Amino acid sequence: MKRLVTTLGLLAVAGGCAWYFFVYGKAEEPPQIIRAVISRGTIIEAVQATGTLEALRTVQVGPQVSGTIIELNADFNSIVRRGQVVARLDPSLLQTQVDIQAANIERQETDIEMQRVQLEDAERNLARTKELFEKGLANQTQLEQAELAVKTRQAQIAAAEKQLVQARANLAQAELNVSYTEVKSPIDGVVVNRLVDVGQTIQSSMNITPFFEIATDLNTLRLTAGVDEADIGKIRPGMKVEFEVDTYPNTTFHGTVENVNLNATVQSNVVTYPVWIIVPNPDYRLRPSLTANLRIIVNTAEDVLRIPNAALRFRPSAEMFTALGLEPPPQPTRVGRGGGAPMGPNAAQPAGPAPAPAAQAGAAPGLQPAVATVADAGAPQAGPGRAGRGGRGTFGPPPPQGGAPVPPMAGARGGRQGGRGAGAALQPVALANGGSQTGSPIQSDRKIDEFFAPIEVQPQPGTVWVWDENARTLTDVRVMTGISDGQFSQLVSGDLTEGQEVVTNIILPVTAASAGASQQTIFGQPGGGRGGFGGGNFGGRGRGGF
């Protein structure tokens, strides 16, 4: 028994020694610094969506009368002209109605002639009665009866003439119905669908199936795209569009935004707005109902410096500074959402005593001067008709006069406070166009697209980090960025040059990462470890509170 215990003890000691050597016996690996290059090129900000191609106008052609189809003069893909006969119905039954109405007219004309003859006889009888009455050979009653007979015949003739007019109208209707047996194309276009065949009997009603579906000339198509509500505010009529269809995978087609419709659709709590895009199709390669993957070009910046968005998102943590042999910047007394570490001063120096930064007037206790400067850079001055913008993740002074007041914690959330300058600037335009401040400026002969303000690019502040291998320093560089394509952002201003490298990530060694995690677990203080994106200069959502 003692031997077994001794053996187990020796095995445990040997295992512990092996684990210690495996973890701590190897030489510590340096952190891996991932960098990207500031390049020059073109940035295209675009909104992506899907849509369906369709003809500008599609008309369903059907009969107006009942009958049996005896002839079809058009088929699928047939090119037809306006007024061309595309189908014929059997006119036999309708022609019979024409013959009946013609016979009614002849009978009515004969009746009128008979009534006129009787009228002449009544008029002669009235003349004789008047002569006899003057001679005293006829009484008053006989005279009145003769006059009544004349008036009766006249009324009968007038009624017969009106019946003749009605009979002629019935004949015209019957002849028109016969003409309706010839189904004609109402437009110039192409037959995209045929729904009947020869020999089929048609009953005219509002619910019958049409004969053909005819689309206007397909040399110009309409692409109807569904744009998400988050992107619809960027779309304006006249913007260029690029799209591809699966049937031509290596071909890019082009179009122009015609209209941004207001009739949004809601499906599974997703709101999309239809956008009409005019697409030239001179070679008829595109066809109706094709699905297109499209990009609406919102802004384009050519020959500009480009910053990788990964560099703008990167925020070094305290563990990264320690692994690089640098002293982590001091933390502020107040932080934003999450425990992101403050990213100042401008240059992180090697480990050693660091001078205490001088406090600035109006700055929160412990706030670095460089951070306060970013707050000022992120709040453009307000001008006439344009309100200010709030800070971006700092606790600096409130925005200048003209902007909305900033709540106490608005800076910690990255602050999207401040007035909406575009809306304020749009109001005078509406008033100048005949509108009023209280009523709608829209007139019946205008479109609401005219009141959409043009897209203005507002530079946004950001921070990138530069690693100097010789000086062993990790320096933060304040920049202003313009448009972005999701991968790169336009460099508007900042101390960066083409070809310069910026840090996009720092991969810590396993031992350093484990030690940092163990320290956080033991002391329960996550500090600012690996803050996420957003939240201004104090990192994003940390892995715990404080």
Q: Which amino acid is at 507?
A: I
Q: How far is CA 537 from CA 3, 287, 341, 354, 461, in A?
A: 63, 51, 8, 20, 10
CA angle at 541 for the pair 536 and 543, rounded to the nearest 5°? 145
Question: How far is 394 from 417, CA to CA, in rounded Å?
Answer: 12
CA atoms within 13 A on the CB side of 64: 11
Question: How far is 315 from 334, CA to CA, in rounded Å?
Answer: 18
| Residues facing 69 on adjacent strands | 89
Rounded to 10 deg, the angle between the 140-179 and 92-135 helix axes is 170
| Residues facing 88 on adjacent strands | 71, 182
> Rounded to 10 degrees, what is the CA torsion of 140, 143, 149, 150?
-140
Q: How far is CA 458 from CA 84, 172, 395, 481, in A?
A: 57, 70, 21, 9
Q: Which amino acid is at 131?
A: E
DSSP code at position 517: H
- pLDDT of res. 10: 76
Using a 10 angstrom Cβ sphere, with 0-12 exposed, 13-18 middle and 19 or more buried, the burial of residue 292 is buried
- Interval 318-331: pLDDT, tens: 999 998 888 888 77
- Interval 78-98: pLDDT, tens: 999 999 999 999 999 999 999
Question: How far is 479 from 461, CA to CA, in rounded Å?
Answer: 6
Question: How far is 286 from 222, CA to CA, in rounded Å?
Answer: 11
DSSP code at position 96: H
Based on its alpha-carbon atoms, the radius of gyration of the chain, rounded to whole angstroms, reads 44
3-class SS of residue 124: helix
3-class SS of residue 266: strand
- pLDDT of res. 28: 65
3-state secondary structure 159-219: HHHHHHHHHHHHHHHHHHHHHCCEEECCCCEEEEEECCCCCCEECCCCCCCCCEEEEECCC
Question: How far is 32 from 507, CA to CA, in rounded Å?
Answer: 5
Neighbours of 86 (CB within 10 A): 21
Q: How far is CA 7 from CA 16, 19, 25, 94, in A?
A: 14, 18, 25, 114
- Interval 377-389: pLDDT, tens: 333 443 434 444 4
> CB neighbours of 258 closer than 8 A, spacing ≥ 6?
222, 237, 276, 277, 278
DSSP states along 298-365: EEEEEEEEEEEHHHHH----HHHHHHTTBPPPPPPSS--SS-PPP--SSEEPBSS--PPPPP-TTPPT
Question: How far is 279 from 150, CA to CA, in rounded Å?
Answer: 77
Q: What are 173-179's contacts with CB under 8 Å, separation 24+? A: 173/101, 174/94, 174/97, 174/98, 174/100, 174/101, 175/98, 177/64, 177/65, 177/94, 177/97, 178/91, 178/94, 178/95, 178/98
- pLDDT of res. 533: 42
CA angle at 514 for the pair 510 and 516, rounded to the nearest 5°? 120
pTM: 0.61
179 phi, psi to nearest 5 deg: -65, -30
Q: How far is CA 428 from CA 431, 434, 435, 437, 448, in A?
A: 5, 10, 9, 9, 16
What is the residue-level pLDDT of the chain in tens, covering all 546 positions?
667 777 777 778 777 777 766 656 555 678 899 999 999 999 999 999 999 999 999 999 988 898 999 999 999 999 999 999 999 999 999 999 999 999 999 999 999 999 999 999 999 999 999 999 898 888 999 889 999 999 999 999 999 999 999 999 999 999 999 999 999 999 999 999 999 999 998 887 656 678 999 999 899 999 999 999 999 999 999 999 999 999 999 999 999 999 999 999 999 999 999 999 999 999 999 999 999 999 999 999 999 999 999 999 999 999 999 988 888 887 755 544 444 444 444 544 444 444 333 333 333 333 333 333 333 433 344 343 444 444 444 444 444 444 444 444 444 344 434 443 444 444 444 434 444 444 444 455 577 776 777 778 889 999 999 999 899 899 999 999 999 999 999 999 999 999 999 999 999 987 545 555 544 444 444 444 444 444 344 344 444 433
Q: Which amino acid is at 305?
A: L
Mean pLDDT, the chain, whole residue set? 77
Question: How far is 164 from 166, CA to CA, in rounded Å?
Answer: 5
Q: How far is CA 345 from CA 229, 369, 452, 477, in A?
A: 40, 7, 43, 10
Question: How far is 43 from 491, CA to CA, in rounded Å?
Answer: 10
Q: Which amino acid is at 478?
A: R
Tell which residue, 480, 475, 485, has the closest CA to residue 376.
480
DSSP states along 126-161: HHHHHHHHHHTSS-HHHHHHHHHHHHHHHHHHHHHH
Contact 462, 468 (CB under 8 A): no
